């Protein structure tokens, strides 16, 4: 919690305190009082900005000024790019040559340098290590770092600051968001914390069940590209084992139903990974009757063509 409080101070006036949305239809359907934390309105369009900015801000000034580097071409990459720009330092995003132009453009738009590599012939780790050594850059990973996890926890801190929560439902990829949020939840008393993974990528569910960190053999087949991680990390798993009550899974079609619900009932755009926690609340598998429920809607970065394709028919 101390780390999260420090993160909250660093993020004050920098990150958005995102709106909490409610829906009578959702409350009727669940017989609960649900607050939806709309991180699709966070800077860069996802919660990742919280952890990325906190991690950059937490670096010693001399280290930070040389710049930062990451491999993520997704939301974390964009978040690092903006966090670096706000600190006036260089950011390098290592991305395969065949990454979609929109992802390259987004990183460049936030002021980062994109370094391409051949994903069949080169190792991104090697390229990253070489660049980091050469330029003195600091690697900021997408979830496996205390300051990243603490930054993500500020989402739950805002949720609990406005109203009490009995059950907190959180999207799970590498475990950065849920570890930070579960820490806040357990500091607020006997709060149930539920993580949500796509059915095809249930490494954290299996890890909790088996009591050891499970790594998937291959990238899971799911539309939820923000949740295709093969495993969480030792750091996030330790926190998850200690503070998360249960991991549930949702199917891709339940995720699409949640994206449709968010569009039609809330007038917001969620990307698949950002809709997964809402999907778990909507599909009826979670018993939350009579409870005050907090749900993360973690991001909205999906282009219109893909959104229309996914939700068509």
**CA–CA separation, 258 vs 86, rounded Å?**
33
Considering the complex, what minimum distance in angstroms separates the CB of residue 171 from its own copies? 16
Q: Is-contact 67 89, C-beta < 8 A?
A: yes
Considering the complex, state which of residue 232 and residue 266 has its C-beta at the smaller distance from its own copies: 266
Considering the complex, what minimum distance in angstroms separates the CB of residue 93 from its own copies? 18
Considering the complex, what minimum distance in angstroms separates the CB of residue 294 from its own copies? 18
Is 23 considered catalytic here?
A: no
Is 162 considered catalytic here?
A: no
Considering the complex, state which of residue 31 and residue 209 has its C-beta at the smaller distance from its own copies: 31
End-to-end CA distance of the chain: 45
The binding site for its own copies (CB under 8 A) comprises 19, 21, 40-41, 45, 260, 263-264, 266-270, 300-301, 303-304, 307-308, 311-312
**CA–CA separation, 17 vs 251, rounded Å?**
30
Considering the complex, state which of residue 172 and residue 269 has its C-beta at the smaller distance from its own copies: 269
Around Cβ 192, how many Cβ atoms within 10 Å? 17
Is 203 considered catalytic here?
A: yes
Considering the complex, what minimum distance in angstroms separates the CB of residue 283 from its own copies? 19
Considering the complex, what minimum distance in angstroms separates the CB of residue 146 from its own copies? 29
From the candidates 203, 252, 254, 271, give the one annotated as an active-site residue.
Answer: 203
Is 197 considered catalytic here?
A: yes
Give the pair of three-digit tokens for residue 42. Answer: 């966070």
Is 65 considered catalytic here?
A: no
Q: Is-contact 203 214, C-beta < 8 A?
A: yes
> Going by C-beta distance under 8 Å and a sequence separation of 6 or more, which residues neighbour residue 306?
none
Considering the complex, state which of residue 69 and residue 269 has its C-beta at the smaller distance from its own copies: 269
> Going by C-beta distance under 8 Å and a sequence separation of 6 or more, which residues neighbour residue 174?
142, 143, 144, 229, 231, 232, 233, 236
Considering the complex, state which of residue 58 and residue 171 has its C-beta at the smaller distance from its own copies: 171
From the candidates 201, 274, 294, 299, give the one annotated as an active-site residue.
Answer: 201
Cα–Cα separations (whole angstroms), residue 286 to 22, 23, 167, 196, 264: 18, 17, 10, 11, 22
**CA–CA separation, 296 vs 110, rounded Å?**
25
Residue 38 sits at φ, ψ, to 5 deg, of -90, 80
Considering the complex, state which of residue 231 and residue 273 has its C-beta at the smaller distance from its own copies: 273
Q: What is the phi-psi region of residue 291: left when phi exceeds 0, alpha when psi lies from -120 to 50, beta otherwise?
A: beta
What is the side-by-side strand order in the sheet with 33-38? Answer: 20-21, 33-38, 292-297, 167-171, 192-198, 246-250
Is 298 considered catalytic here?
A: yes
Considering the complex, what minimum distance in angstroms separates the CB of residue 268 from its own copies? 6
* Residues recognised as catalytic: 48, 73, 197, 201, 203, 298
């Amino acid at each position: 919690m101390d780390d999260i409080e420090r993160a909250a101070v660093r993020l004050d006036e920098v990150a958005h305190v995102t709106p909490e949305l409610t829906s009578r239809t959702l409350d009727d359907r669940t017989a609960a009082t649900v607050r939806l934390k709309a991180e699709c309105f966070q800077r860069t369009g996802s919660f990742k900005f919280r952890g990325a900015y906190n991690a950059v801000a937490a670096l010693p000034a001399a280290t930070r000024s040389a710049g930062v580097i990451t491999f993520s071409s997704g939301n974390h990459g964009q978040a690092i790019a903006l966090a670096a720009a706000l600190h006036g330092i260089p950011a390098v995003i290592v991305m395969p040559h065949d990454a979609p132009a929109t992802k390259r453009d987004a990183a460049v738009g936030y002021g980062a340098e994109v370094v391409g590599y051949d994903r069949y012939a080169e190792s991104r780790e090697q390229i990253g290590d070489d660049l980091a050594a050469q330029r003195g850059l600091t690697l900021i990973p997408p979830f496996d770092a205390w300051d990243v996890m603490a930054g993500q926890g500020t989402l739950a801190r805002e949720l609990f600051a406005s109203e009490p929560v009995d059950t907190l439902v959180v999207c799970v990829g590498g475990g950065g968001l849920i570890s930070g949020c579960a820490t806040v939840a357990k500091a607020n008393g006997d709060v149930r914390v539920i993580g949500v993974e796509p059915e095809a990528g249930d490494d954290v569910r299996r890890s909790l069940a088996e009591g050891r960190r499970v790594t998937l053999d291959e990238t899971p087949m799911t539309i939820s590209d923000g949740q295709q991680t093969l495993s969480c990390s030792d750091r996030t798993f330790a926190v998850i084992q200690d503070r998360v009550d249960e991991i549930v899974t949702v199917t891709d079609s339940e995720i699409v139903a949640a994206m449709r619900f968010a569009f039609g009932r809330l007038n917001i755009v969620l990307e698949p990974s950002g809709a997964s926690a809402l999907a778990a609340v909507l599909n009826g598998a979670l018993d939350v009757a009579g409870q005050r429920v907090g749900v993360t809607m973690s991001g909205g970065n999906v282009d219109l063509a893909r959104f229309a394709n996914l939700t068509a028919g």
